[in-house]
Structure 1
Amino acid sequence: MNQAFISAADLGRALARGDITSEALVTATLARIRKYDAQLNAFVEVYDESALGAARESDIRRSRNQSKGLLDGVPFAAKDLFDVEGHATLAGSKATSRAIVARSANAVQRLLDKGMILVGKTHTVEFAYGSWGTNPSSKTPINPRDPLIPRVPGGSSSGSGVAVAAGLVPVALGTDTGGSVRTPAALCGVIGMKTSLGLVGRGGVQPLAFLFDIVGPMTRSVEDAALILASLQGEDQEDPSTFGVPQHDTVNDLEKGVAGLVLRHPAMADLAAAEPGILVQFRRTLDELRAMGALIEEKPLPRPLETYASLTANMTTVEAWGRYRPLVEQENSLVDPEIAKRMSRGATMGVADYLDYLEQRRMMQIEFDGYFTGADAFLLPSSPITAKPLEGIHDTPAPFGIFTRLANLMDLASISIPMGDVENLPTGLQIVVRRFADPLALRVARALEVHRGGLFLAPSNY
């Protein structure tokens, strides 16, 4: 069985039927990582021995009719912001402690408790503070969609996006503060979800800006995203945002389609930052959804997308500077100079500025709730551009947050799904819903996936 681009759900079904063992599956996964990762740079470290041991344990459970569920025995990876027991969390930086952690992050542990097999940790932008996906302090993952020109993967969950897109793993965990799951999902052509704050615990995850940080899955199918989100939910004693939050059924309504749903989108003038080819794909997708029975509405945004993006960036900078200032300011700092420069903007922002940002955010949330009234979901492209050549891009301002930060600022949920290629490079559609309406975002995404006969397109060279 060539399982490289098979979904996690279908791998689970194959394991249940006895078509393959978890040991064979994980052996093939590790071999594929060894074959391709030298050129892709997706992984920080790979856990060959422990992964194979866990796979054998999964096979034993299944032989005794003690399987932990559909995902038991299926491999996954986690961004190197997640603690993994027995390993250091480097956060993509030379400046972090190399201390071994004693306990895995809540999200990692929840997947392990479902019997999933952790095969390694993936590269991230240093401290998750950047959206091109580059990292001179560690390694920059290479977008697998262009066989000729090395291109940016999108960040900060860069390695996770590349690993899923290149068929190294079917599932990877990422984090999203202003688009860090959705941007690499869009640029690499996979599915990435910004979950509702409080739905998935962040215990054991290296923070950037705790006000906005979330944990989200990256997959190649909508069903997989729904299954992983179902597994990740629940209270986390290290994350008060999860206290009292009920679990949501992410699977039951997945096949209900979009007929009768009101899907709103901004005026095309609001999306002026997008490349023409992306807008062509966006209009085509709106037409498809309309033909599928959705009610498509255009409504100009209350404010420019750049306004929401700028406020989110300022608030993130204040938090990042407050957290990482000692590492940036220490003599002979090992923090990458460009990351240090970005963070140092926080030194010019005081408590009064931050309180003003919070008040602006409150007013914008009230205003945007009025804009959202009467609609089930809000649609816009995930990224204004396709993946650009890697050479020389690290120090260039990245435009991705213009389209993604709105969801973080407003405490909304959002999923990015492949929208169609422009000049053989992926683009993403962003489906934004109200907080805790994550199952609805998945439902809309799944409807398009069924209508098109699939969303993910495997890269040619992998």
Structure 2
Amino acid sequence: MNDLHATRLDLLAGGTDARTKMERAIDISRSAACQHVFTRTMFDEALQASSTSDPASRLAGLAFTAKDLFDVEGQATPAGSAVLAHAPAAKADSPAVARLRAAGGVLTGRTNMTEFAFSGVGVNPHHGTPANASDPAVPRIPGGSSSGAAVSVASGAAFIGLGSDTGGSIRIPAALNGIVGFKNTARLTPTAGALPLSTTLDTACAMTRSVRDAITAHEILAARRVTAGNAPLAAYRLAVVKNVFFDGIEPAVANAFERSLKMLRAAGARIVEIELPELAELGAINATGGFSAAESYAWHRLLLERSGAGYDPRVAQRILRGATMKAHEYIDLINARRDWIARVEAVLAPFDAVLSPTVPITAPSIASVAPGAERDEEFFRVNALLLRNPSIVNMLDGCAISLPCQAPGELPVGLMLWHAALHDDAVLAVALQTERALQE
């Protein structure tokens, strides 16, 4: 499946046209592969826009999708919920949507998501759950919360899936669907016009088919240029953190990760193993509920009073945990995080990037975690495993990218490259070289 860059070159060379590509994207969007992917589509408008697009623009009239929590002018912003289905229409596009459109992208639809973005599994009891694109034989979870956005990219329905990442909501579905997901340093991209989960941790970002496409999407969303360079892997110093990230890891994920390290070392990478004992502190730091519970409850409390029966019970349960956090506990959390970040940054300072499994498991079946009280225990077990590794980067206020690293015929496995805040360009530079090494 060609990425955005290759397709754009084909357009410029006259080998195809944007309308033809849009017709193909819409056909896929309407197929069984994209069942439950969209909460709303704009196919007629998309065909018209692609017909008059500029092939020299950065996105060249090609398809992108937007997670259901981003404002689109003239539409409600339900965020995967039933209780906001009839909310007032947005008066303008969110900056993220507007920037992708201004760069020549064509929005084909709003994508399904975990209700209010509060889960890494991707199950939605209101709109159905889109099946992972990797396994047509067994309907597997897509990962969340940007579930539909991931499947839209992995299936070929879009080149860019705009989403958000609060504790892994871009990287988890990217890893489980075998695509690329880049979570930039949060402050670099605007979250205005996006319904919040945690104003402290939310990041507007995207999933793509390649690292070079991830760079393009980030440059558009952040209105900045990435300086990635073209240095070989040997020019970078990389670390592997051995504690926490590998707890409960499935053999398939462990094997794919170790195979990836072997391939990177063969390509010249200098990789050292380090301990990061500060990770053991996160449980105590977040013991009173963490930022997502407190900040989501602040936003939802009145809506819960009016319409709580309409919420996904699993989501409501997590939001309501924020009701018990006291003001001094929230301030203590802010201060503890600031101190923790400083100490972790000091440990990571000698390195250009850290390598970890994005998540420690492959995608389980939808049936095993589908809505129902009898499956709640398994749902929350899977959710905790999926969020554990990527959420460390959010707590660090860092940046991270997930790349597919499985062998042909295997279920998708994500390799995460990450670092502290504002190391985005270095992480992307290493990711470019890593992607090449893994594909050789």
Deviation of the 1:365 alpha carbon:
0.7
Q: Does 1:138 align with 2:127?
A: yes
Distance 1:92 1:270, change over 3 A: closer
Contact kept? 1:379, 1:430, Cα under 8 Å = yes
For this pair of structures, how many residues does the alignment match?
A: 428
Partner letter of residue 437 of structure 2? H
Partner letter of residue 275 of structure 1? E
Select the residue among 19, 24, 28 that pairs with 1:23: 19
Partner of 1:175: 164
Q: Secondary structure at the match of 2:421?
A: coil
CA–CA separation in structure 1 for the residues paired with 2:166 and 2:333: 16
Q: Secondary structure at the match of 2:39?
A: strand
Partner of 1:41: 36
Partner letter of residue 122 of structure 2? G
Q: Does 1:357 align with 2:321?
A: no
Partner of 1:75: 63
Contact kept? 2:241, 2:273, Cα under 8 Å = yes
Deviation of the 1:169 alpha carbon:
1.2
Q: Secondary structure at the match of 1:77?
A: strand
Partner letter of residue 235 of structure 2? G
Select the residue among 412, 433, 436 that pairs with 1:447: 433
CA–CA separation in structure 2 for the residues paired with 1:423 and 1:21: 32
Partner letter of residue 249 of structure 2? A
CA–CA separation in structure 1 for the residues paired with 2:233 and 2:280: 26
Deviation of the 1:309 alpha carbon:
9.6
Partner of 1:119: 108
Q: Secondary structure at the match of 1:442?
A: helix
Partner of 1:325: 301
Select the residue among 50, 53, 57 that pairs with 1:55: 50
Deviation of the 1:222 alpha carbon:
0.8
Select the residue among 80, 88, 95 that pairs with 1:92: 80
Contact kept? 2:264, 2:437, Cα under 8 Å = no
CA–CA separation in structure 2 for the residues paired with 1:139 and 1:23: 30
Select the residue among 189, 196, 210 that pairs with 2:199: 210
Deviation of the 1:42 alpha carbon:
1.1
Contact kept? 2:79, 2:113, Cα under 8 Å = yes
Deviation of the 1:201 alpha carbon:
1.1
Q: Secondary structure at the match of 2:234?
A: coil
Distance 1:29 1:423, change over 3 A: closer
Partner of 1:241: none
Select the residue among 155, 163, 173 that pairs with 2:152: 163
Distance 1:366 1:46, change over 3 A: same
Gaps of 5+ in 2: 371-375
Deviation of the 1:331 alpha carbon:
5.5
Q: Secondary structure at the match of 1:404?
A: helix
CA–CA separation in structure 1 for the residues paired with 2:409 and 2:360: 15
CA–CA separation in structure 2 for the residues paired with 1:326 and 1:336: 16
Partner of 1:244: none
Partner letter of residue 249 of structure 1? V
Q: Does 1:277 align with 2:266?
A: no
Which piece of structure 1 moves more, 405-414 or 16-25?
Answer: 16-25
CA–CA separation in structure 1 for the residues paired with 2:237 and 2:89: 49
Q: Secondary structure at the match of 2:405?
A: strand
Q: Secondary structure at the match of 1:426?
A: coil
Q: Secondary structure at the match of 1:150?
A: coil
TM-score, normalised on structure 1?
0.88
Partner of 1:7: 3
Partner letter of residue 81 of structure 1? L
Q: Secondary structure at the match of 1:333?
A: helix
Q: Secondary structure at the match of 2:406?
A: strand
Q: Deviations over 1:87-131 (max 9, x none)?
A: 211100011143211211111111111111111111010000011
CA–CA separation in structure 1 for the residues paired with 2:9 and 2:95: 26
Q: Deviations over 1:23-73 (max 9, x none)?
A: 121122112211235x63211111111111111221xx45xxxx4x24221
Q: Deviations over 1:277-321 (max 9, x none)?
A: 212222221222222222111111123468269729622111111
Partner of 1:243: none
Q: Secondary structure at the match of 2:315?
A: helix
Distance 1:379 1:342, change over 3 A: same
Contact kept? 1:95, 1:334, Cα under 8 Å = yes
Structure with bigger helix share is 2
Q: Secondary structure at the match of 1:107?
A: helix
Gaps of 5+ in 1: 235-246, 455-462
TM-score, normalised on structure 2?
0.92
- How many percent of aligned residue pairs carry the same amino acid? 34
Deviation of the 1:327 alpha carbon:
1.9
Deviation of the 1:332 alpha carbon:
5.9
Aligned ranges 1:380-395 → 2 under 5 Å = 380-394=356-370, 395=376
CA–CA separation in structure 2 for the residues paired with 1:23 and 1:166: 18
- The structure 1 segments of at least 4 consecutive aligned residues displaced by more than 6 Å after TM superposition are none
Q: Does 1:340 align with 2:316?
A: yes
Partner of 1:237: none
CA–CA separation in structure 2 for the residues paired with 1:432 and 1:224: 18
Partner letter of residue 174 of structure 1? G
Q: Secondary structure at the match of 1:259?
A: helix
